[in-house]
Amino acid sequence: MTVLPSIDPVSVVVVPSLRQVMPAPTAGVGISVTEFGGATVVRVAGTLGDRDLGALAETLGEASVEGSQLILDLTEVDSVPVGTRAILDATSMHLSRWATRLSVAAPTDIAQTLGAEPSGRTVFH
């Protein structure tokens, strides 16, 4: 697994333009988007709650572009709500239109919550 740089803990979410920021639905989470060459990295930090899932889904949808690999960095997340898996499945299916996969970097406990295989690999849809 590739270790990605840590996330700035500022509470922000990305709005559809990917250029503006606004306060997160809950103060305990931060979402940022960074582009590295042909990859788009969505980083989440803090405690991801049920109220934050809409912002996560919107951010992943906007970051899912043709020809770009999408990486979701959950290494700085304390926990994930049950609905997270459904959002990742939907994002993965959306990316499959372009023969691209969603990659997720997460601690072992978060990966197990998301349904990772025993090898640690997380496969969606």
pLDDT digits (tens, 9 = 90+) for 33-76: 998 888 899 999 988 899 999 999 999 998 887 777 899 999 99
Measured distance CA(96)–CA(26) in Å, rounded = 31
Number of domains in the chain: 1
Q: Determine, yes or no, domain membership for 100.
A: yes
Note the pTM of the prediction, 2 decimals.
Answer: 0.72
CB 81 within 8 A of CB 55: no
Angle between helix axes 53-63 and 84-95 (nearest 10 degrees) is 10
Q: Determine, yes or no, domain membership for 69.
A: yes
Q: Determine, yes or no, domain membership for 13.
A: no
Q: Determine, yes or no, domain membership for 95.
A: yes
pLDDT digits (tens, 9 = 90+) for 17-36: 444 444 445 557 889 999 88
pLDDT grade for 117, boundaries at 50, 70 and 90: low
Q: Domain containing 75: what range?
A: 47-123
